[in-house]
Every structure is written in C-alpha cells, then in structure tokens.
A and B are shown apart, each in its own frame.
Chain A
Amino acid sequence: MAGKRIGILALQGAFIEHENALRKCGASPRQVRTAQELDEIEGLIIPGGESTTIGKLMQAYGLDDKIKARHAEGMPIWGTCAGMILLAKEIAEIEQVHLSLMDISVRRNGFGRQVDSFETELEVEGLGRSRGVFIRAPYVDKVWGEARVLAYHQERIVMVQEGKLLATAFHPELTEDLSIHSYFLEMS
C-alpha cells in the first residue's frame, strides 16, 4: 500500500489533517480541487467540513459527476462527517446537493449543536477500539442493500461500509489512531 495516490477533496474543511494521517501511513496523498485532478488518484477522501459548502462547490466546479464516474470505475471513497452526508442516498428533512452513492439515510447534526460535540471510545468491527471525535456530527438513521454497519455509538449507527464506500460520522483524522486510514488504504 506504500505510495498509494490518495486524493483528499480540498474544497473546504479539514483536508490537511487527512493528508498528514495518510502520509504517516506511507501513502502519497494529494489535495484535489479540479475534475482533472480526480483522474490522477486511486482513492478519494471527502473530509469533514460544511456539507452544504462542499456540495455547492463540487457542483459549481464540475466535480460531482466526475467523482461518480470514477467511483463507477472502482475508485474507493471514504467520507468523514460532512463527507458521509455527501455520500448518502438520503438526507433526513433537508434538501441539499449530494452524491447519492451509498445505501444509507443520514441525519445532519443528529447528535446536536456544538455544545453537544463529544469524544468517546468506540468499538469498530474488525478493527477493535478506536477514539471517536464527534463534532456537530450526523448519524445514520438506516442502512439497506449491501451497506454494512461497522460501528455504533449508543445504538446510533456511526460507521458504514458498502463495497468500496466507507463512511464515518466521526473524525479519525483528529486523533493519533491511524487504523481507519490504514483500513481505507487496504480497500483502495
């Protein structure tokens, strides 16, 4: 997996944190802002940030269709927080631009506003204990089709995989734990 070219969608949000984590894992990360740059990568991370901001920029600069096309060719995608919202096929109660790739329904700010943001221990299926940092975090209301739940927090779904798509409601890039980044590199 060393040197794998992983793009991080760098329109808005915490993309540098993912870049640093991937570098520690031995990958070769790069920031992606244009459709052409999507051609040069083997996997894509959609980082935390504001899903409305990222969604609008993605659409305005022609990245949304290109991301879907690259995924159809087999490119893996991992979305954290805002990224998870953008991957979902359904967003509860809110109309916004999204990629609509994953068989999940998400609830934006499901855990509340910033004063409710929290850190906790999580049990991730197949990976063991992990630190979960949740910031104005969404959760997954339901999954269907091939989507498989990998982690819960208090009976809420917070991590899902569906083939080459991975979604986390929390932020492994804000912790020292590289296990989920390594897992994504193995998927790529």
Chain B
Amino acid sequence: MIETGTFKVKAGLAQMLKGGVIMDVTTPEQAKIAEEAGACAVMALERVPADIRASGGIARMADPTIVLRIMEAVTIPVMAKCRIGHFVEAQILESLGVDYIDESEVLSPADDKYHVNKKDFKVPFVCGARNLGEALRRICEGAAMIRTKGEPGTGNVIEAVRHIRQVNDEIRWISNLPVEELMNAAKELQAPYELVLEVARLKALPVVNFAAGGIATPADAALMMQLGCDGIFVGSGIFKSGDPAQRAKAIVAATTYFKDPAVIAEVSRDLGEAMVGINIDTIKPEDRMQDRGW
C-alpha cells in the first residue's frame, strides 16, 4: 500500500531542510540566485516582509503566476504563504503543487479566531510561534514544522531570540516536572495535554523548529543555530541588502559552520550594506506582526 500525505512524510521534508537556509524570493531570477547560493528551499512571495511593512494595506497570498514561475525556475523545494485562517488560499497553493505552506502572520490574517485545519491537506504546513503553547496548538492543528515568529521585516533579531529562548525555557520547565503536574502545565501553557506529555518525554518539540523574523547577517543566523534552532528563514535580509548573492552564500555557510567563528568571520567580510533595521519599540502596536495568530 502506498500512503501519501502522512505526518511522517510531511514532517520528514522539514527534517531534510534542517541545517539549511530558506530564502524569501519574489521573482524567478531571485529564486535562481538563492538556489545558486545554496538555499535549501525558497519562499515565493509577492513582496518581502519589509516592503509589506512599508506599504501597509492588506497583504494576501501571492499571485499564482509568481508562485508557478518560481517553481519552474528552481529544483529545490518551493514554499508559499497563505493568510492565517484562509483555508481557500491554502487549497489554491496545494493545487499549484507547492512543497510547503506557511500559514503566516506576515500576511494580514483572514480569521481573528481560528487557524487552518492543516490535517485536511496533503501538503505540509509551517507556522510561527512565540512560545511553547502556541507551537503545540499549531502542531495539534496539523503543522509539521514550526518557526519562531520574531518580528518580520525589521532586520532586528531580538524578537526571534526572545521567542526561541521562551520555547526552550518552557521545554526545560516541563521536562523536569513530575507527570501529575503536567496537566496543570498544559493549562498554563494553553497547550494540548497529549503534546505536552510528548514534549516532556522527548525534551524537545516533536517537529523541526526553524528561526525566522529579523535575521539579517551571517552572525544572526549562527546565533539562532547556537540557541538551538534547526535552520534559518531569511525574509527581507537578503534581497533588501547591498549584495544579495554574496550575503545569501555567507548566511548559508554560517548556518552550516555555526560553531566555527573563524568561518563566520571569513564569510562576513566585505558583504556590503545589510538591510536597514528597525527598532522594535518604534513599531506601533497594530503593526506588530508577531501578535497575529491565536
């Protein structure tokens, strides 16, 4: 018997992406630059998060033509974003044959209460999380991969650091609790009990966890890897910088050799302008993307 769309093959693709860099691209040309630089996958978008932030308005799923042209341009996996709760955008992306869907807070949410029931799909989903409870709610809905939310489009890594530290703190906390205290922990975390039990047993998330939201330099990527992330998403950080091809290659190398400062130093030399960053406390509350998601 041949089974497709099983959780094993969904989570399995995320396992194959580990130790790699997934890059936001808006054109087939950018996708080729990303592939040539060693990206393990690309995220097909109409605008990168920094431009979404700058232009305001409602951000939606990309035009299918953009997604399809990027799929034709590269041999590596292609991901695409749908709005939180917009299961029809997800159905469209699945029908196009994308390899992963990001139900993403970078786009404007379509539902103020509910996320997509990701178990309805053969294509796997990745979702953002700021803490363990949020990660486990998304996994319970069917997400096969998690990423930190960070604060997208800022080039400022502080929120991504906060989120991975929060998830790791909470994993350490429940890993040390006696089993009779785990029900109350599940209540406090607002997380499904069965998944809390599984995390306590594994002392880790049951799926791959990447870093995202504010990574702009090779050092940022290596920092997130040393903090325990399985891999890196770079959104605006590459194609909003002075020399995208060189920076992309450097971030790939820093993600592989994250424990080797000499390599990171070497690849960080003469990279040109990084993207212009934004201080988190200058962002108005309604413009904080990380607060989207329930």
Contacts and interface: CB of A to CB of B under 8 A. Distances in A.
Interface of A: 10-17, 33, 48-50, 52-53, 56-57, 60, 81-82, 94, 108-109, 113-121, 133-136, 171, 174
Contact of A13 (B2, B20, B98): B20
A117 B13 contact: yes
Contact of B40 (A33, A49, A116, A171): A49
Contact of B123 (A12, A81, A115): A115
A77 B226 CA distance: 29
A53 B40 contact: yes
A82 B16 contact: yes
Given A11-B256, A49-B20, A118-B3, A17 B75 contact: no
Contacts of B252: 53, 56-57
A81 B16 contact: yes
Contacts of B41: 50
A13 B16 contact: yes
Contact of B20 (A12, A17, A119): A12
Contact of B2 (A12, A52, A115, A118): A118
A60 B20 contact: no
Interface in B1-18: 1-6, 8-9, 12-13, 15-18
Given A12-B40, A33-B256, A57-B38, A117 B20 contact: no
Contacts of A15: 18-19
B8 A174 contact: yes
A115 B77 CA distance: 11
A141 B8 CA distance: 26
30 contacts: A12-B40, A12-B256, A13-B19, A13-B20, A14-B12, A33-B257, A33-B260, A49-B18, A50-B39, A50-B40, A50-B76, A52-B38, A52-B75, A53-B38, A53-B40, A114-B9, A115-B4, A115-B94, A117-B4, A118-B2, A118-B4, A119-B6, A119-B9, A133-B8, A133-B9, A135-B12, A135-B16, A136-B16, A136-B99, A174-B15
B36 to A, nearest CB: 8
A63 to B, nearest CB: 11
Interface in B66-101: 75-77, 94, 97-100
B75 to A, nearest CB: 6
B122 interface: yes
B80 to A, nearest CB: 12
A11 B123 CA distance: 26
Interface of B: 1-6, 8-9, 12-13, 15-20, 35, 38-41, 75-77, 94, 97-100, 122-124, 252-253, 255-257, 260
Contact of A16 (B8, B18, B39, B257): B18
A108 B124 contact: no
Contacts of B6: 118-119
A14 B18 contact: yes
Given A15-B18, A48-B16, 9 more contacts: A13-B18, A50-B17, A50-B39, A50-B41, A52-B75, A56-B252, A115-B5, A115-B97, A118-B3
A172 B94 CA distance: 27
A14 B100 CA distance: 17
Contacts of B99: 113-115, 136
A114 B40 contact: no
Contact of A14 (B2, B15, B75, B123): B15
B201 to A, nearest CB: 15
B19 A12 contact: yes
A53 B20 contact: yes
Task: Identify the 5 closest CB pairs spanning chains A and B, nearest first.
Answer: A114-B99, A117-B9, A50-B40, A12-B19, A14-B15
Given A11-B19, A12-B19, A114-B100, A56 B38 contact: yes
Contacts of B39: 50, 53
Nearest to A13: B16
